[in-house]
């Protein structure tokens, strides 16, 4: 039910002033009628534009170790309880990682996001990650983000010394809803890793997965937790109900719901990088470009175990809406964004999931 509140520019004013909108106003964003969606997006874009202008930051995701995970996350095709048909492999050879880095640079990505499955990296795998990071940084003007599971401050410092700029560890959902999603770790475990990243003086990247059966209060609480932690980069994933996972039957999202969530997160996280991540193509569908009005970043290419649209389609979408790509140093890209970008590139093993 709509609350009757509709002054979305007031929420933009409050966000730009550094104020936290009320819980009642946050609920109003999520429950607003469809005929107010464009007004919401316009207000959210005003907040986005104040920090990010019309730039769009691209990230390239590399699944450097797939499957074989001892965790029981209900959303994840790589978990120990999943029967999803995915590729499973140990840590990639450095040669393969460099090929992915070459492709990231070719696709105009500013950041290579290196992800490994598992609860926490063992020393052998961790050293391979460090070696790969050094090699990538030596060859390319790419920032590197590492997503390696639970980490302590000493490990984070070693990543920093190797050239990692950002460490990702998603909270995924609210503290209240976490037990419904996973039983092998706690919300506090995830917060502790984010705190270790902050303590090491590194950039924090943490977000969530929406559409897992959580309430509106859970959606709001996750954003407030990210704000309290002062997370700098926030990937917003929308649940991809992959067959073989515990959450395969959940169907709670449509494009308008996703856009309301993105608008709310911009009001609550006014200066953060907000990235429309997994599920963008699946759930926003023909309205994908609208997500760039509250958000300022996307992944280009495929996701961990699911397929995205082609890089050229992403670049065309960005150009058609009048946005410009951002270089690794944060400046607008000068020149042809399509130069050197192939018409296609190796695809993920799974076809794009339909909902």
Q: Is there a catalytic annotation at residue 258?
A: no
48, 73, 103, 266: the active-site residue: 73
Average pLDDT over residues 270-286: 93
46, 57, 76, 260: the active-site residue: 76
Residue that is written with structure tokens 């700098």 in the block: 232
Q: In the prediction, which pLDDT does 350 show? A: 44
pLDDT-wise least confident of 109-113, 314-318, 334-338: 334-338
Q: In the prediction, which pLDDT does 336 show? A: 80
**pLDDT for 26 beyond 70:** yes
DSSP state of 303: -
Residue 345 pLDDT level (bands cut at 50, 70, 90): low
Residue 2 pLDDT level (bands cut at 50, 70, 90): low
**pLDDT for 353 beyond 80:** no
Please state, as a whole number, how many other Cβ atoms lie within 10 Å of the Cβ of residue 285. Answer: 13
**Considering the entire predicted model, what is its pTM?**
0.92
Which tokens is 260 given? 């309301």
d(CA 204, CA 200): 10
55, 57, 145, 260: the active-site residue: 145
**pLDDT for 29 beyond 60:** yes
* Mean pLDDT across the chain: 89
Which tokens is 125 given? 């795998």
Residue that is written with structure tokens 């950041």 in the block: 111
pLDDT in tens, 176-198: 999 999 989 899 999 999 999 99
Residue 348 pLDDT level (bands cut at 50, 70, 90): very low
57, 190, 205, 258: the active-site residue: 205
pLDDT-wise least confident of 74-88, 179-193, 214-228: 74-88
69, 103, 147, 280: the active-site residue: 69
Average pLDDT over residues 29-57: 97
Residue 333 pLDDT level (bands cut at 50, 70, 90): confident
Residue 126 pLDDT level (bands cut at 50, 70, 90): very high
**pLDDT for 206 beyond 60:** yes
Q: Are strands 208-210 and 233-238 parallel, antiparallel or unpaired?
A: parallel
Q: Is there a catalytic annotation at residue 275?
A: yes
Q: Is there a catalytic annotation at residue 205?
A: yes
Which tokens is 160 given? 């920093």
Q: In the prediction, which pLDDT does 122 show? A: 87
Find, among 138, 141, 134, 200, the residue nearest to 169 by Cα.
200
Where on the phi/psi map is residue 353: left (φ > 0), alpha (ψ -120 to 50), or beta?
beta
**pLDDT for 143 beyond 90:** yes
pLDDT in tens, 103-119: 889 888 889 999 888 78
pLDDT-wise least confident of 171-175, 193-197, 239-243: 239-243
46, 113, 147, 266: the active-site residue: 113
46, 137, 275, 280: the active-site residue: 275
Residue 347 pLDDT level (bands cut at 50, 70, 90): very low
SS3 234: strand
């Amino acid at each position: 039910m709509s609350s009757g509140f509709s002054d979305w520019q007031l929420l933009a004013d409050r966000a730009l002033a550094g104020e936290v909108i009320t819980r009642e106003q946050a609920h109003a964003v999520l429950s607003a009628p469809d005929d107010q969606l464009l007004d919401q997006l316009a207000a959210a874009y005003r907040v986005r534009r104040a920090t990010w202008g019309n730039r769009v930051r691209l990230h390239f995701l590399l699944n450097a170790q797939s499957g074989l995970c001892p965790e029981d996350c209900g959303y994840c095709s790589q978990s120990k309880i999943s029967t999803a048909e995915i590729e499973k492999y140990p840590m990639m050879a450095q040669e393969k990682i460099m090929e992915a880095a070459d492709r990231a640079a070719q696709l105009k990505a500013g950041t290579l996001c290196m992800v490994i499955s598992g609860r926490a990296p063992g020393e052998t795998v961790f050293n391979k990650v460090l070696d790969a990071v050094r090699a990538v940084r030596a060859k390319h003007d790419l920032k590197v983000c590492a997503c390696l599971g639970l980490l302590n401050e000493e490990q984070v410092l070693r990543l920093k010394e190797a050239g990692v700029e950002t460490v990702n560890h998603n909270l995924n959902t609210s503290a209240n809803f976490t037990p419904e999603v996973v039983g092998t770790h706690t919300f506090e475990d995830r917060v502790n890793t984010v705190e270790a990243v902050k303590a090491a003086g590194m950039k924090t990247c943490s977000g969530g997965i929406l559409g897992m059966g959580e309430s509106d209060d859970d959606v709001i609480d996750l954003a407030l937790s990210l704000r309290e932690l002062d997370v700098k980069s926030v990937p917003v994933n929308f649940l991809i109900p992959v067959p073989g996972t515990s959450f395969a039957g959940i169907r709670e999202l449509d494009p308008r719901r996703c856009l309301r969530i993105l608008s709310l997160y911009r009001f609550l996280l006014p200066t953060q990088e907000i990235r429309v991540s997994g599920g963008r193509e699946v759930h926003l569908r023909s309205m994908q470009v609208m997500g760039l009005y509250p958000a300022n970043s996307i992944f280009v290419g495929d996701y961990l175990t699911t397929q995205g649209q082609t890089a050229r389609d992403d670049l065309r979408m960005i150009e058609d809406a009048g946005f410009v790509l951002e270089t690794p140093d944060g400046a607008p890209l000068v020149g042809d964004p399509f130069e050197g970008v192939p018409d296609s590139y190796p695809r993920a093993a799974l076809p794009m999931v339909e909902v």
